[in-house]
Chain A
Amino acid sequence: DAGVTQSPTHLIKTRGQHVTLRCSPISGHKSVSWYQQVLGQGPQFIFQYYEKEERGRGNFPDRFSARQFPNYSSELNVNALLLGDSALYLCASSWTGGSSGEQYFGPGTRLTVT
Protein backbone atom coordinates (compact mmCIF):
# COMPACT_ATOMS: atom_id res chain seq x y z
CA ASP A 1 0.00 0.00 0.00
CA ALA A 2 1.15 3.53 -0.71
CA GLY A 3 2.09 5.71 2.21
CA VAL A 4 1.08 9.30 2.77
CA THR A 5 1.53 11.34 -0.39
CA GLN A 6 1.93 15.10 -0.61
CA SER A 7 2.07 17.53 -3.48
CA PRO A 8 3.84 19.49 -4.66
CA THR A 9 7.29 18.44 -3.46
CA HIS A 10 8.75 21.92 -3.64
CA LEU A 11 7.19 25.32 -4.08
CA ILE A 12 8.56 28.83 -4.36
CA LYS A 13 6.20 31.74 -3.71
CA THR A 14 6.49 35.49 -3.25
CA ARG A 15 5.44 37.37 -0.12
CA GLY A 16 1.73 38.16 -0.12
CA GLN A 17 0.79 35.27 -2.38
CA HIS A 18 -1.46 32.35 -1.55
CA VAL A 19 -0.49 28.67 -1.51
CA THR A 20 -2.40 25.38 -1.46
CA LEU A 21 -0.73 22.16 -0.33
CA ARG A 22 -2.31 18.75 -0.79
CA CYS A 23 -2.19 15.48 1.10
CA SER A 24 -3.56 11.98 0.53
CA PRO A 25 -3.61 9.75 3.62
CA ILE A 26 -2.82 6.06 3.80
CA SER A 27 -5.71 4.02 2.42
CA GLY A 28 -8.25 3.39 5.18
CA HIS A 29 -7.02 6.23 7.39
CA LYS A 30 -9.66 8.81 8.22
CA SER A 31 -7.60 11.45 10.01
CA VAL A 32 -5.12 13.95 8.64
CA SER A 33 -2.92 16.31 10.64
CA TRP A 34 -0.76 19.13 9.35
CA TYR A 35 2.55 20.20 10.86
CA GLN A 36 5.05 22.94 10.05
CA GLN A 37 8.74 22.13 10.42
CA VAL A 38 11.13 25.04 10.33
CA LEU A 39 14.73 24.12 9.52
CA GLY A 40 16.52 22.76 12.57
CA GLN A 41 13.39 22.36 14.69
CA GLY A 42 10.79 19.74 15.47
CA PRO A 43 7.42 19.79 13.70
CA GLN A 44 4.75 22.14 15.09
CA PHE A 45 1.06 21.13 15.03
CA ILE A 46 -1.18 23.22 12.77
CA PHE A 47 -4.47 21.32 12.32
CA GLN A 48 -6.11 17.95 12.68
CA TYR A 49 -9.10 16.79 10.67
CA TYR A 50 -11.13 13.66 11.28
CA GLU A 51 -14.11 12.62 9.18
CA LYS A 52 -14.01 16.02 7.45
CA GLU A 53 -14.31 17.95 10.71
CA GLU A 54 -11.62 20.10 12.32
CA ARG A 55 -10.67 18.49 15.63
CA GLY A 56 -7.80 20.71 16.66
CA ARG A 57 -5.87 23.81 15.76
CA GLY A 58 -2.40 24.86 16.83
CA ASN A 59 -1.10 28.33 17.56
CA PHE A 60 -1.12 29.60 13.98
CA PRO A 61 -2.75 32.75 12.56
CA ASP A 62 -6.01 32.76 10.65
CA ARG A 63 -4.02 32.99 7.42
CA PHE A 64 -3.72 29.22 7.77
CA SER A 65 -6.78 27.15 6.92
CA ALA A 66 -7.46 23.59 5.90
CA ARG A 67 -10.18 21.22 4.88
CA GLN A 68 -10.72 17.51 4.42
CA PHE A 69 -12.62 15.99 1.53
CA PRO A 70 -15.02 13.00 1.45
CA ASN A 71 -12.18 10.76 0.23
CA TYR A 72 -10.19 11.87 3.35
CA SER A 73 -7.59 13.80 1.36
CA SER A 74 -6.82 17.25 2.66
CA GLU A 75 -5.68 20.70 1.63
CA LEU A 76 -3.73 23.25 3.63
CA ASN A 77 -4.12 26.85 2.51
CA VAL A 78 -1.94 29.74 3.53
CA ASN A 79 -2.86 33.31 2.58
CA ALA A 80 -0.75 36.47 2.52
CA LEU A 81 2.51 34.55 2.71
CA LEU A 82 5.30 35.88 4.91
CA LEU A 83 9.01 35.09 4.74
CA GLY A 84 8.60 33.26 8.04
CA ASP A 85 6.21 30.79 6.44
CA SER A 86 9.17 29.19 4.67
CA ALA A 87 9.28 25.65 6.05
CA LEU A 88 8.66 21.97 5.38
CA TYR A 89 4.93 21.30 5.64
CA LEU A 90 4.16 17.80 6.76
CA CYS A 91 0.97 15.83 6.57
CA ALA A 92 0.38 12.95 8.98
CA SER A 93 -2.19 10.23 8.54
CA SER A 94 -3.80 8.09 11.22
CA TRP A 95 -6.60 5.55 11.42
CA THR A 96 -8.66 7.66 13.77
CA GLY A 97 -8.40 11.04 15.39
CA GLY A 98 -7.73 11.64 19.02
CA SER A 99 -5.84 9.50 21.44
CA SER A 100 -5.62 6.37 19.38
CA GLY A 101 -3.65 5.32 16.35
CA GLU A 102 -0.11 6.07 15.30
CA GLN A 103 0.58 9.02 13.02
CA TYR A 104 2.50 8.38 9.82
CA PHE A 105 4.10 11.29 8.03
CA GLY A 106 4.39 12.04 4.35
CA PRO A 107 7.55 13.36 2.67
CA GLY A 108 6.44 16.96 3.07
CA THR A 109 6.20 20.00 0.83
CA ARG A 110 9.15 22.37 1.00
CA LEU A 111 7.77 25.92 0.77
CA THR A 112 10.14 28.81 0.12
CA VAL A 113 8.78 32.34 0.37
CA THR A 114 10.92 35.06 -1.23
Chain B
Amino acid sequence: GENVEQHPSTLSVQEGDSAVIKCTYSDSASNYFPWYKQELGKRPQLIIDIRSNVGEKKDQRIAVTLNKTAKHFSLHITETQPEDSAVYFCAAPRTSGSARQLTFGSGTQLTVLP
Protein backbone atom coordinates (compact mmCIF):
# COMPACT_ATOMS: atom_id res chain seq x y z
CA GLY B 1 0.00 0.00 0.00
CA GLU B 2 0.88 3.65 -0.15
CA ASN B 3 2.95 5.21 2.63
CA VAL B 4 2.91 9.00 2.92
CA GLU B 5 5.25 10.92 5.18
CA GLN B 6 4.77 14.61 5.88
CA HIS B 7 7.14 17.19 7.40
CA PRO B 8 7.27 19.28 9.45
CA SER B 9 4.57 18.46 11.97
CA THR B 10 4.46 22.08 13.13
CA LEU B 11 5.49 25.26 11.36
CA SER B 12 5.40 28.84 12.57
CA VAL B 13 6.04 31.74 10.23
CA GLN B 14 5.70 35.49 10.40
CA GLU B 15 2.90 37.05 8.44
CA GLY B 16 4.07 37.78 4.92
CA ASP B 17 6.72 35.06 4.91
CA SER B 18 6.52 31.85 2.90
CA ALA B 19 5.70 28.39 4.20
CA VAL B 20 6.74 25.08 2.68
CA ILE B 21 5.40 21.65 3.62
CA LYS B 22 6.87 18.49 2.15
CA CYS B 23 5.52 15.00 1.60
CA THR B 24 7.06 11.81 0.31
CA TYR B 25 5.21 8.80 -1.02
CA SER B 26 6.20 5.22 -1.63
CA ASP B 27 4.17 4.00 -4.60
CA SER B 28 5.79 5.09 -7.85
CA ALA B 29 2.53 4.44 -9.70
CA SER B 30 0.67 7.13 -7.75
CA ASN B 31 -0.38 9.92 -10.08
CA TYR B 32 -2.63 12.28 -8.13
CA PHE B 33 -1.65 14.39 -5.13
CA PRO B 34 -4.15 16.61 -3.31
CA TRP B 35 -3.57 19.01 -0.44
CA TYR B 36 -6.26 19.69 2.15
CA LYS B 37 -6.60 22.47 4.72
CA GLN B 38 -8.46 21.72 7.93
CA GLU B 39 -9.38 24.36 10.45
CA LEU B 40 -10.10 23.28 14.00
CA GLY B 41 -13.29 21.22 14.20
CA LYS B 42 -14.08 21.68 10.54
CA ARG B 43 -14.01 19.65 7.37
CA PRO B 44 -10.85 19.17 5.32
CA GLN B 45 -11.03 21.44 2.29
CA LEU B 46 -9.21 20.76 -0.95
CA ILE B 47 -6.93 23.70 -1.66
CA ILE B 48 -4.91 22.43 -4.58
CA ASP B 49 -4.07 19.18 -6.33
CA ILE B 50 -1.61 18.03 -8.95
CA ARG B 51 -1.49 15.17 -11.38
CA SER B 52 1.72 13.47 -12.34
CA ASN B 53 1.78 14.78 -15.88
CA VAL B 54 2.87 18.20 -14.60
CA GLY B 55 5.65 19.27 -12.28
CA GLU B 56 4.10 22.38 -10.81
CA LYS B 57 0.72 23.99 -10.36
CA LYS B 58 -0.07 27.40 -8.96
CA ASP B 59 -3.22 29.06 -7.72
CA GLN B 60 -2.66 32.62 -6.48
CA ARG B 61 -0.56 32.34 -3.29
CA ILE B 62 -0.56 28.55 -3.27
CA ALA B 63 1.60 26.27 -5.37
CA VAL B 64 2.42 22.59 -5.42
CA THR B 65 5.53 21.04 -6.93
CA LEU B 66 6.00 17.38 -7.76
CA ASN B 67 9.21 15.42 -8.21
CA LYS B 68 8.24 11.99 -9.49
CA THR B 69 11.78 10.71 -9.57
CA ALA B 70 12.33 11.45 -5.92
CA LYS B 71 8.70 10.67 -5.05
CA HIS B 72 8.02 13.83 -3.19
CA PHE B 73 5.71 16.80 -3.51
CA SER B 74 5.55 20.09 -1.68
CA LEU B 75 3.03 22.77 -0.81
CA HIS B 76 4.22 26.37 -1.03
CA ILE B 77 2.26 29.24 0.47
CA THR B 78 3.58 32.73 -0.22
CA GLU B 79 2.72 35.99 1.53
CA THR B 80 1.17 34.09 4.41
CA GLN B 81 -1.76 35.60 6.28
CA PRO B 82 -3.19 34.77 9.74
CA GLU B 83 -6.16 33.05 8.07
CA ASP B 84 -3.74 30.54 6.57
CA SER B 85 -3.27 29.13 10.07
CA ALA B 86 -4.67 25.58 10.03
CA VAL B 87 -3.63 21.95 9.71
CA TYR B 88 -2.57 20.94 6.22
CA PHE B 89 -2.68 17.36 4.97
CA CYS B 90 -1.12 15.89 1.87
CA ALA B 91 -2.43 12.67 0.36
CA ALA B 92 -1.64 10.11 -2.30
CA PRO B 93 -3.80 7.37 -3.77
CA ARG B 94 -3.35 3.66 -3.51
CA THR B 95 -2.85 2.25 -6.95
CA SER B 96 -4.17 -1.21 -6.12
CA GLY B 97 -7.91 -1.67 -6.55
CA SER B 98 -10.34 0.56 -8.37
CA ALA B 99 -11.48 2.83 -5.52
CA ARG B 100 -8.15 4.71 -5.32
CA GLN B 101 -8.47 5.37 -1.63
CA LEU B 102 -6.30 8.20 -0.36
CA THR B 103 -3.60 7.77 2.23
CA PHE B 104 -3.12 10.95 4.20
CA GLY B 105 0.04 12.37 5.67
CA SER B 106 0.24 13.02 9.39
CA GLY B 107 -0.54 16.71 9.00
CA THR B 108 1.27 20.02 9.54
CA GLN B 109 0.00 22.59 12.00
CA LEU B 110 0.79 25.94 10.38
CA THR B 111 0.70 29.02 12.56
CA VAL B 112 1.04 32.44 10.95
CA LEU B 113 2.10 34.99 13.51
CA PRO B 114 0.78 38.54 13.01
Q: Is A bound to B?
A: no
